[in-house]
Amino acid sequence: MNTQPVILDTDPGVDDALAIMLALGSPELDVIGICTVSGNVPLKTGTRNAQGLLQLLERTDIPVFAGADQPLKRDPVFATEVHGESGMGQAVLPEPSQEVKGDAVDFLIQTLSDQPGEITIIAVGPLTNLALAEQRQPGTLQKARQVIVMGGAIVETGNSTPVAEFNFYADPHAAQIVVHSGAALLVVPLDATRQVILSESNIENQIAPLQTVASQFVVDATQNVLALYRQLGREPIVYLHDPLAVGAAIAPELLRVETLYIDIETSGDLTLGQVVTDRRSLPPPHRLGKPVDCAIHVNAEAFLSLFLKRIF
């Protein structure tokens, strides 16, 4: 089997941790580095989470690079109400033994320049690091084999505002730069990720009884999310947002993809971070935005089965 070298760019909250676990448990992927960015939690917390998770999973051979500690232009926003103050719910990670290897933006530029057309980037946090790499050295993202982005909401409602998904809301200017970069881009928006659910019964009946280090971590990490949904009077579930972006690299056949003309709104009190899709039946030169592959449907049952098999 040919393994695909990947860089994970992440803001380690709970579903980011699940995405990292899925990537590390998949023989199709060779994770050559993890880059961290401010997002679900502040940069320092997220970086420590990435290191602690690698320590827990006994994969300290994978280097961690710390990236942007704030968005390009807007004030930082976090999602600690979902992920807990630590970003890992109730889970406690071990003290990491490894040091941060360097700057994430430098690592992205250097690696993509050294191995053009070979590396897949899977970005599951705000896109600040990718945008900074593109700003510092234009054309950098075009050197990636593919850039898979978990972000945005196309027809679905947002999860940070009525129209915006968290990653694009947290740094809309970065999302716009990446959309306009000319990279081989696949966006995995809420439209697809809300189709893949880890239910409370999955956690209680399929994960908790395994009684391994990894299963206990997942049980503890997901407690905050489940509690938040109960508090909101909703069914307690965990959406597998970020793992699905990793799934797109492992098993792209599970996703149905459409090429849509999209752009990202970078201003507006109500619309900041919104994905605007030009669905007008005009010839392409007259449409606004850029043509981007967007995952709009997923075989949820097959993905959940793959996810559970790989991370345990």
Which of the residues are catalytic? 241
> What are the distances in angstroms from CA 226 to CA 81, 239, 283?
12, 10, 46
Q: Any idea how long the chain is?
A: 312
At 207, list the tokens: 């994960």
297 conformational bin, left if phi > 0, alpha if psi -120 to 50, beta if neither = beta
CB 49 within 8 A of CB 80: no
The string of DSSP codes covering 7-67 is EEEE--SHHHHHHHHHHHT-TTEEEEEEEE-SSSS-HHHHHHHHHHHHHHTT-TTS-EEE-
Residue 244 DSSP code: H
CB 219 within 8 A of CB 198: no
- Amino acid letter for position 64: V
Please list, in sequence order, all residues whose beta carbon lies within 8 angstroms of the beta carbon of residue 158, skipping any fewer than 6 positions away.
164, 165, 169, 190, 273, 274
Span between the terminal Cα atoms of the chain, in Å: 21
DSSP 98-160: SPP-EEHHHHHHHHHHHSTTTPEEEE-S-SHHHHHHHHHSTTTGGGSSEEEEE---SSSPPSS
Looking at the DSSP assignment, which residues form a beta bridge with residue 188? Answer: 150
